[in-house]
C-alpha cells in the first residue's frame, strides 16, 4: 500500500479508544487509538486491515446513511408546512392602479380595484420623510391623499398662501381597462384639501401608460418627473437626472421656461385660488365679519329705539325719515314717502345679505363687498337715501379685496 493509501482523514473522535477516518479509497474505518485523540480534519496513519480488527460492520461508519432517515423526515415536514401555507393562505391583492404624486416629495400609491391603498413607494428622500410617519396600507385613497397633504404641509413642502404645485398621474395596471379612481377625482379631492388648508396654487392631473411608468422606474424617477424630463429633452432642454430627482417639480418647470400645459399636454390644470369675498377666507375677511356683527347689532338697536319714539343721535343727512334740523318734523310729501319705502326695502335686503354673509354664504359676502363703498358714503341707490356707516369702512387688510 502506498503512502497516500496509508493515511486517512479524521472524521470523528467521540470514542477515546477509536478514531473514525476516511481513507483515500473512500472507505470509512474505525481504527484503534492510544494517547491524546487527534483533531477532526487531521490526517493520520491508517494501519492495514488485519484479522484482529473489528468486524466490517463496526469498521465502516457511513455517516450519511446514519442521518438519512432523520433528514428525510425533516424535509417531509418542512415541505408539508409550506404546502399548507400556500393552500390556505388568502390570495394576495394585485394593484389595479398606480397614482404618482409630486409635490416635491415624489411618491406612488398602489391601489386595488376598490380604491384601497395596497402600498406606498417613495422616489426621493423628501417622500421618505412624508411616508415615514404614515401607515397608509389598508386605508382608502382619499384618506391617504389627505394624510400626505397634511404631512407635507407640516414638513414645509406645501406653503401657506400661493405658489404650490401638485402633479398627479394615474396609470392602470396591465390587466385593467378602466381606472378604479379617475385622475379627475384625485385632482378634485387634492384641490379641496388644498383649499380647506388655504394652500393655494395649481393641481395638474392626467393619465399615463405602463410603458412610461416602467421607463421612469428604470431611471429612478417618479412618473411625473420622468414626463417632464422627456418633454424638456424633446425641446432640447438638458436637465441632469440628479437634478430632476432632487429639485421640486415646480422649480423644474421654472427652469425649463415652459408652461405647464406645454410640459403635460394631456393633463388637466385646476387652479386653487383665494376666493374673493369669502367669509373666513383670510384674516381680513374675519375682521370684516366681526365689524359686520357690531354694525348690525348697533343698527338693530337704533331701529328698536325708533319704534319706541326715540330719535337716533345725530339725525342729519343719514337718517331714513328725511333731512331736517333738530326738533323739526319731516315733510309728509308723497315723494319722501316713496323714498322712505324704497330705503326700507333696500335696507331689509342688505340686512338679509349681512345675515347670509355671517353664516358663510360666499355670494352674499361678494355682493356686500361690491356695494360697500356706495353705502358707506351714504349714497343713493334706487332713489333711496341710505344711512351712512351701516357697513365697515374699506380697509387694506381685506385679503386683497
The candidate with the shortest Cα–Cα distance to 288, out of 299, 303, 276, is 276
Long-range contacts (CB closer than 8 Å, 24 or more residues apart) made by 124-133: 124/222, 124/245, 124/246, 126/155, 126/157, 129/105, 129/155, 130/105, 130/155, 130/157, 131/105, 131/107
Cα R_g (the chain), whole angstroms: 43
pLDDT on residue 384: 42
Q: What is the DSSP string of 55-100?
A: PHHHH---HHHHHHHHHHHHHHHHHHHHHHHHHHSPPPPPP-EEEE
* Grid cell in block for residue 378: 351714504
The candidate with the shortest Cα–Cα distance to 262, out of 235, 285, 297, 294, is 235
pTM score: 0.50
Phi and psi at 72, nearest 5°, equal -65, -45
Q: State the Cα–Cα distance between residues 341 and 339, nearest whole angstrom.
A: 5
- CA 106 vs. chain centroid, Å, equals 10
Q: Which helix (H) or strand (E) holds 365?
A: helix 362-376
pLDDT on residue 351: 77
pLDDT on residue 75: 79
* Mean pLDDT, each 10-residue run in order, the chain (401 residues): 63 81 79 83 79 47 60 75 57 81 92 93 91 90 93 91 90 88 93 92 93 93 93 91 89 90 91 65 56 62 57 44 44 62 76 74 72 52 44 41 38
pLDDT on residue 171: 93
pLDDT on residue 166: 94
Q: Which helix (H) or strand (E) holds 164?
A: strand 161-172
The candidate with the shortest Cα–Cα distance to 149, out of 101, 207, 202, 205, is 101
Domains of the chain in sequence order: 1-89 (2.40.50), 97-272 (no CATH), 276-309+334-401 (no CATH)
The candidate with the shortest Cα–Cα distance to 318, out of 238, 240, 384, 231, is 384
- CA 352 vs. chain centroid, Å, equals 41
Amino acid at each position: 500500500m502506498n503512502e497516500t493509501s496509508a493515511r486517512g482523514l479524521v472524521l470523528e473522535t467521540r470514542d477515546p479508544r477509536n478514531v473514525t477516518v476516511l481513507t483515500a479509497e473512500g472507505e470509512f474505518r474505525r481504527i484503534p487509538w492510544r494517547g491524546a485523540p487527534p483533531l477532526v480534519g487531521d490526517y493520520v496513519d491508517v494501519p492495514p486491515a488485519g484479522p484482529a480488527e473489528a468486524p466490517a460492520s463496526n469498521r465502516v461508519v457511513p455517516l450519511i446513511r446514519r442521518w438519512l432517515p432523520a433528514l428525510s423526515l425533516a424535509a417531509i415536514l418542512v415541505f408539508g408546512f409550506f404546502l399548507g401555507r400556500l393552500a390556505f393562505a388568502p390570495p394576495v391583492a394585485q394593484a389595479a392602479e398606480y397614482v404618482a404624486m409630486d409635490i416635491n416629495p415624489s411618491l406612488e400609491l398602489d391601489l386595488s380595484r376598490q380604491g384601497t391603498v395596497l402600498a406606498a413607494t417613495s422616489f426621493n428622500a423628501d417622500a421618505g420623510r412624508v411616508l415615514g410617519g404614515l401607515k397608509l396600507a389598508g386605508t382608502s385613497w382619499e384618506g391617504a391623499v389627505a394624510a400626505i397633504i397634511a404631512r407635507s404641509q407640516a414638513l414645509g413642502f406645501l406653503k401657506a398662501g400661493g405658489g404650490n404645485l401638485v402633479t398627479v398621474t394615474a396609470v392602470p395596471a396591465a390587466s385593467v381597462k378602466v381606472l378604479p379612481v379617475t385622475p379627475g377625482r384625485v385632482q378634485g379631492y387634492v384641490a379641496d384639501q388644498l383649499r380647506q388648508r388655504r394652500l393655494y396654487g395649481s393641481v395638474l392631473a392626467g393619465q399615463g401608460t405602463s410603458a412610461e411608468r416602467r421607463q421612469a422606474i428604470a431611471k429612478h424617477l417618479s412618473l411625473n418627473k420622468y414626463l417632464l424630463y422627456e418633454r424638456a429633452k424633446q425641446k432640447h432642454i438638458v436637465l441632469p437626472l440628479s437634478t430632476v430627482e432632487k429639485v421640486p417639480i415646480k422649480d423644474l418647470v421654472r427652469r425649463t421656461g415652459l408652461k405647464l400645459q406645454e410640459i403635460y399636454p394631456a393633463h388637466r390644470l385646476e387652479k386653487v385660488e383665494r376666493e374673493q369675498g369669502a367669509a373666513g377666507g383670510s384674516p381680513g375677511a374675519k375682521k370684516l365679519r366681526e365689524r359686520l356683527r357690531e354694525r348690525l347689532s348697533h343698527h338693530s338697536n337704533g331701529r328698536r329705539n325708533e319704534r319706541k319714539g326715540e330719535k337716533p343721535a345725530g339725525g342729519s343727512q343719514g337718517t331714513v325719515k328725511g333731512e331736517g334740523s333738530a326738533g323739526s318734523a319731516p315733510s309728509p310729501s308723497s315723494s319722501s314717502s316713496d323714498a322712505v319705502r324704497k330705503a326700507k326695502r333696500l335696507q331689509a335686503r342688505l340686512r338679509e345679505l349681512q345675515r347670509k354673509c355671517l353664516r358663510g354664504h360666499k355670494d352674499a359676502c361678494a355682493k356686500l363687498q361690491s356695494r360697500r363703498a356706495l353705502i358707506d358714503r351714504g349714497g343713493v341707490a334706487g332713489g333711496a337715501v341710505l344711512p351712512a356707516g351701516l357697513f365697515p369702512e374699506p380697509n387694506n387688510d381685506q385679503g386683497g379685496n
